[in-house]
Amino acid sequence: MQHIFNSEGWELEVIMEDNKSQLNLAGWSCPIPLINYPTIVLGHGSGGKMMADLIQHLFAPVFNSQLLNQLNDSTVLDLKEILNSYPSKRLAFTTDSFVINPIFFPGGNIGDLSIYGTVNDLAMSGAKPLFLSAGFILEEGLPMNSLGIIVSSMASACKTANVCIAAGDTKVVNKGHGDGIYINTTGIGIIPEGINISISNAAPGDVILINGSVGDHGMAIMSVRSGLEFETTIQSDTAPLNGLVDELIDATHEIHCMRDATRGGLAAVLNEMAVSSNVGVEFIETAVPIKPEVNAACEMLGLDPFYIANEGKMVVVVPENQADKVLMAMRKHSLGKDAAEIGRVVENHRGLVTAHTRIGGNRIVDLPAGELLPRIC
């Protein structure tokens, strides 16, 4: 994705990677009064004219959502209309807050991350994501330019993921009380009939699949984090997984578990599954796809790639007789090209995850104790 803006930072054009969908925001440039404030000031959250300007000249045109244009205290959703398109009895509902630092990183920014993160959480229960809310906590001094880029990438992320921002809120906090920008997104999705996917559904004998390489997002962030900067070509894998999930559900209704491997990485997902489903989990280290540059960066910092965060990777657990079908469906999708079978759900060592090591040994892969810390030697 490429952003183009003029010297004042006001004419934005977002070019998607596939060059198909272009979001031209030239129309929303507004010299007054926003231009008088090249950064966010407390007044932008005051509820007064400055806030109205921010909404009218930035959020509304960029998000271009009819639901947002209702401009009521709460957005009214037409249930009948939804059920006509998606006959179902169950909704999925989730919320997530994004406090990532730095806010711009190789492969994305806090904006698209905040859309894809919530879309993916909805998709993991098999739901079709429909509506999102976006709550912004802006720190005084955030460059207006940065906010413009973030909001426009949220809009293009919504388009990519086929979801709509239906409600929003903005607050401004004093300088020093935030990290530039925090975003909360909450999402509602609808779960098709006949789908029952849960982290507690794994059964011994099930096959564990992943849709691609692990560790890309976390290492991309570390490569630009202050104090740790290193040169690399690693890009965050941030992406909406709902399209891929649709394909998998088309392939089989027998998916037992799906979870995106975000914080805590692959190791955290497998541990959560082992505990919630009361099963043992075994995976083969060499079967897990890891990009050479991610592996090298992990070696350098003394980190284990299985613990590193992802934003476009998911673990899928299916009965053995469905595994080939699901793996094929994954590999056909652009976000599953490197999909692989990585392990099995087992009867023994319930609640524990073990890895079969490269040289033929075994080790326990536990939940990380806390924040991942580079080792001294």
Alpha helices in 69-134 (DSSP H): 79-85, 110-123
**Cα–Cα dist 53/33, whole Å:** 8
- Tell me if 128 sits within 8 A of 86, measured CB to CB: yes
Main-chain phi, psi angles of 139, to 5 degrees: -95, 135
Nearer residue to another protein within complex by CB, 16 or 296: 296
Select from 24, 46, 174, 362 the one that contacts another protein (CB under 8 A): 362
**What is the biggest distance separating any 2 CA atoms in the chain, rounded to whole angstroms?**
67
Nearest approach, Cβ of residue 171 and another protein (Å): 23
Q: Which residues share a beta bridge with 134?
A: 168, 185
Question: In the structure encoding, which two tokens stand for residue 193, read together?
Answer: 């009939």
Smallest gap from Cβ 354 to another protein, in A, equals 7
| Residue 284 binds another protein, judged by CB under 8 A | no
**Closest separation in Å from C-beta 360 to another protein:** 6
Distance CA 35, CA 255 (A): 52
Tell me the C-alpha distance between 235 and 17, whole Å. Answer: 13
Element (H, E) at 260: strand 257-260
The verdict on 358 binding another protein (CB under 8 A) reads yes
- Cα 33 to Cα 26, 60, 143, 144, 189: the distances in Å are 17, 16, 15, 12, 38
Quickly tell me which residue has 């914080």 as its tokens: 263
Smaller CB distance to another protein: residue 100 or 241? Answer: 100
Per-residue binder mask for another protein (CB under 8 A), 334-353, x = binder: ---------------x--x-
Q: Is residue 287 involved in binding another protein (CB under 8 A)?
A: no
Q: Is 69 in the site for another protein (CB under 8 A)?
A: no
Distance (Å, rounded) from C-alpha 369 to C-alpha 169? 35
Interacting positions 289-328 with another protein (CB under 8 A): 292, 295-296, 299, 301, 304
Identity of the residue numbered 322: Q
Q: Does 176 bind another protein (CB under 8 A)?
A: no
Q: Can you say whether residue 205 is alpha, beta or left, with left for phi > 0 and alpha for psi between -120 and 50 degrees?
A: left
Residue of 47, 87, 205, 374 interacting with another protein (CB under 8 A): 374
- DSSP β-bridge partners for residue 135: 169, 184
Closer Cβ to another protein, 238 or 354, answer by number: 354
**Candidate ranges 52-60, 182-190, 205-213, 368-376; the one touching another protein (CB under 8 A):** 368-376
- Least distance from another protein to the Cβ atom of residue 219, Å: 14
Measured from the CB atom, is 100 or 154 closer to another protein? 100
Provide, rounded to whole angstroms, the least separation between the CB of residue 362 and another protein. Answer: 5
Q: For residues 178-237, which are near another protein according to CB under 8 A?
A: 227-228
**By the rule CB under 8 A, 32 interacts with another protein:** no
**Burial letters 73-96, b for 16+ CB under 10 A, else e:** eebeeeeeebeeeeebeeebebeb
Other beta carbons within 10 Å of 156: 22
116 or 306, CB closer to another protein?
306
- Tell me how far, at minimum, the Cβ of 13 lies from another protein, in Å: 36
Please, what is the angle between helix 144-161 and helix 110-123, to 10°? Answer: 30
Interaction of residue 279 with another protein, rule CB under 8 A: no
Contact flag: residue 375 with another protein (CB under 8 A): yes
121 vs 285, beta carbon nearer another protein: 285
Minimum distance from CB of 297 to another protein (Å)? 10
Based on the shown chain and the rule CB under 8 A, indicate whether residue 27 belongs to the binding site for another protein.
Answer: no
Note the residues at the interface with another protein (CB under 8 A). 227-228, 292, 295-296, 299, 301, 304, 349, 352, 354, 357-364, 366, 369-371, 373-377
